[in-house]
Structure 1
């Protein structure tokens, strides 16, 4: 090859390499620019004192419907490409960070219920409303230490401690000092929440269940200029019943509820209560169905199922009365102990011994309850009142018809025809159970209606998408400097977020 041609070809090759490098460099810069300008995921923090019991059953923490809903919604949002999910919860005095799939779990004693405290007292404080952080473990260690001391020293220590408590009670009996001490406690707790929320760095903070902590959370979110969302778990949250039953904690709770950037209800009846008591509109975002839709033959369904905590307002003994009056039917009762009324479980166990047609289970892992619903031909609810029971959704997803003594949120059983309600009439309640047990065809129709209802109204992906959009609008409003901009259409009972 002539030297001139070689030089020309080599020059073209070098120029091509340079052009390629410049194009690749330009694309890299463009990709970096796109990444820099792409919106970052919305970081949502759910706050729940006992939801850790669902992720780590070995923790021994009691769980209920509120925890199931938070965990179900968090798991669904974690799959959303534009969301990051953090759960703030507690496990005694532990301070730690863990991961459950795509969910970050933050453990803090600030919002924890100690299993040891639950076991010893039979009652759960609302996220340690009145106890200092770590006080349960300190008190337990103190008792152990005093128990190992010589008798005379143990007597002196106990006398000093009792004297201190007596002096404290006397000082706090003075109204001015009592008021001042309360304000100091509120200030300390607010600073603790402020430090904790700042470390999480979420765009939106969400909690569920009434407690004094709602007031602290809302105050801190206001200081951080972050939206605060309260999710109604029960009618008593917004009817005034919680405030009347818990005046001190209720004052802080209601302050946070009134100032929340958004109140999310489970159904239109709760939204009506919010409008009546607080003169503001609320969102209606339906509950996530915590179980997949299942199909099972009618012939395989043979039991009558009851699942609930043994709280007095859930009336577990009304179910035992039903068991005694239907001796030819097979019943299953899942009854975890009440956190506030432990004596009820002891009474139930005494009665269970006399009922040969009842299978009694005190504790069942949440995942295992799906099998019980599949095997049940009827699910019964004996509560006086509830929010929107997760058990209704679990039963409907398995094609199991429902008989409710009183609970019928927003008339859902009548409107969608997947269950029957006795409206608080005990004789009628028994008649309805007998009717369903004797009519396979009716149970089949109601079961199919239940599956259809869950499929159309409680699809996890749809509900999570609605919730994410609400949080995104709230976050944008705060970034723009507008507080509480995300509001339902005034006067619309179901709100713009309802499916």
Structure 2
């Protein structure tokens, strides 16, 4: 019998896609990796797992044939940080995958890569933002003292394979890192829906300032006869979230929705 290829996706907050009641906040990267994993799961050659953060769940859970392993805690303190690193490496060893797949810009990219170098594993990284492929931007952040960017950079520069989302990122990565990459655009399993009325303009994203939801609010003001819907869950800046929410509620033709659970999305 042919041995299955073990692939582990390392993405802390993807647990919310498997278990919406966990309270974890997700973005596009979490959903993308979930969709990729689900498609790979259908191929009998692969054994798929996820390493996620600790949200109080069981150590190991199985969702539709995908093993989900609980990793590091989300509680921030010096001792928890040290504990987190130890737990993270233990879980990587416990999973013992052939391929580790990361996507976000975090210190765990560096930790994952270090583990892969030590134990001769393959590390694939899928970029989720143009910042990740722009070396001068990363180095600028490191000079300002960001440990997050430092550990990311130390890992990213030794990645075995890089996947980008568009041609522009592929070119930037080649120019600034001299890395070769593969372009795989985002894709989603869309259900066929007939006779659906499209009577509003929709904007969906996390409450990040660089996503510029304020432009969408200005757009709604410019077209008062059209209906607009802004779906924006809070991210890491509660003050910014409340500011956008306050501005949106002042626009009569704009409905503000503070997030929709992934399980409620019919796409």
Give the aligned partner of residue 213 of structure 2: 316
Write out per-residue CA displacement over residues 108-144 of structure 1, whole angstroms, 9 at most, x where no aligned residue: 12xx435xxxxxxxxxxxxx6x7443x7xxxxxxxxx
Alignment of 1:194-343 (within 5 A): 194-240=89-135, 241-246=137-142, 247-289=146-188, 291-297=189-195, 300-339=197-236, 341-343=237-239
Cα drift, residue 54 of structure 1: 0.9
SS in 2 for 1:245: helix
CA–CA separation in structure 1 for the residues paired with 2:55 and 2:170? 35
Alignment of 1:91 with 2:54, yes or no, is yes
CA RMSD between the two structures: 2.2
CA separation of 1:368/1:239 partners in 2, compared to 1, >3 Å: closer, same or farther? same
Cα drift, residue 321 of structure 1: 1.3
Unaligned segments of structure 2, at least 5 residues: none
Distance 2:12 2:85 in 1: 17
Give 1:362 shift: 0.6
Give the alignment of 1:393-472 within 5 angstroms: none
Instruction: Give me the whole-angstrom Cα distance separating, in 1, the residues matched to 2:28 and 2:37.
Output: 14
Instruction: Provide Cα deviations, 1:42-73, integer angstroms capped at 9, x if missing partner.
Output: 11000001000111111110000110011111
> Residue 46 of structure 1 aligns with which residue?
9
Runs of 4+ residues deviating >4 angstroms: 188-192
Q: 1:196-251, CA deviations, whole angstroms, 9 ceiling, x for partnerless residues?
A: 22211111111111111211111111111111111111110111334433532222
CA contact (8 A) 2:20 2:262 kept: no
Of 39-48 and 248-257, more deviation after overlay is shown by 248-257
- Paired residue secondary structure (1:228): strand
Structure that is richer in strand per residue? 2
> Structure 1 residue aligned with 2:74, among 93, 113, 127?
113
TM-score normalised according to structure 1 size: 0.50
Out of 34, 45, 60, the residue aligned to residue 71 of structure 1 is 34
Q: Give the deviation of 1:85 after TM superposition.
A: 0.3
Describe the shift of the 1:53–1:225 C-alpha distance in structure 2 as closer, same or farther (beyond 3 A). same
Q: Match of 2:206, SS?
A: coil
CA distances 1:257-303 after superposition (whole Å, capped 9, x unpaired): 111111111122212122112222112223232x41434447x1111
SS of 1:332's equivalent?
A: strand
The alignment's TM-score, normalised by the length of structure 2, stands at 0.90
The answer to whether residue 20 in structure 2 is matched with residue 57 in structure 1 is yes
Q: In the aligned structure 2, how far is the partner of 1:196 from the partner of 1:107?
A: 8
Equivalent residue for 2:243?
A: 347
> Number of residue pairs matched?
263
Asked whether the 8 Å contact 1:43–1:202 carries over to 2, the reply is: yes
Q: For 1:51, what is the secondary structure of its paired residue?
A: helix
CA contact (8 A) 1:244 1:250 kept: no
Q: Is contact 2:138–2:153 with CA below 8 Å preserved after alignment? A: no
Q: 2:253 aligns with which of 357, 364, 369?
A: 357
Structure showing greater radius of gyration is 1
- Shift of residue 320 of structure 1? 1.1
